[in-house]
């Protein structure tokens, strides 16, 4: 009988974040986030334009047009970050993220980090790096545990 290694919980939820990222409408980065508490998914989010408006796949990237480097001038963007969307989705459905872990394909920008702290998320797990390290000191001060893991395999393994 074929033996398949069971992924750890961190690997499992990071892999789910990768699948969530497939829905992104950003031309620069596909980012996915999954909020989890007690092994249960509370909400998900990916980066893209606000609901009901045209996105970068339709209009092109405003930041590319203006030659704005990644990690700078976040306000000049049609997109909402994956972490922000996960927090917003939880709020829309009346779900507290207090004490949760946020699994994300990239490290957070400082704006997302502030929202993570105020949402009382206690742990942030990623395998990727975003071009903004300003979150590190904020997470330390606020007591948000930050962990970088190995990127999970993109292969889906299961027994037929």
- Tally of CB atoms within 10 A around 54: 11
The pairing of strands 145-148 and 123-126 is: parallel
Q: Which one of 11, 27, 83, 141 is the catalytic residue?
A: 83
Q: How far apart are CA 62 and CA 68, in angstroms?
A: 9
Give me the residue label for tokens 């405003």. Answer: 62
83 a catalytic residue: yes
Output b/e per residue, 114-128; b: 16+ Cβ within 10 A: ebbbebebbbbbbbb
How far is residue 115's CA from residue 138's CA, in Å, rounded to a whole number? 11
Nearest residue to 151 via CA among 32, 11, 28: 11
Which residues are identified as catalytic?
Answer: 83
């Amino acid at each position: 009988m074929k033996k398949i290694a069971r992924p750890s919980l961190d690997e499992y939820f990071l892999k789910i974040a990768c699948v969530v990222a497939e829905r992104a409408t950003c031309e620069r980065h596909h980012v996915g986030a999954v909020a989890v508490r007690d092994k249960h998914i509370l909400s998900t989010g990916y980066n893209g334009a606000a609901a009901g408006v045209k996105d970068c796949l339709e209009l092109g990237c405003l930041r590319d047009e203006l030659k704005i480097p990644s990690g700078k001038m976040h306000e000049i963007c049609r997109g909402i970050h994956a972490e922000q969307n996960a927090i917003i989705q939880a709020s829309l459905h009346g779900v507290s993220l207090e004490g949760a872990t946020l699994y994300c394909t990239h490290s957070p920008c400082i704006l997302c980090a502030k929202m993570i702290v105020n949402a009382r998320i206690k742990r942030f797990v990623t395998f990727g790096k975003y071009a903004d390290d300003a979150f590190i000191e904020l997470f330390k001060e606020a007591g948000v545990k930050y962990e970088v893991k190995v990127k999970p395999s993109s292969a889906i393994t299961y027994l037929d």
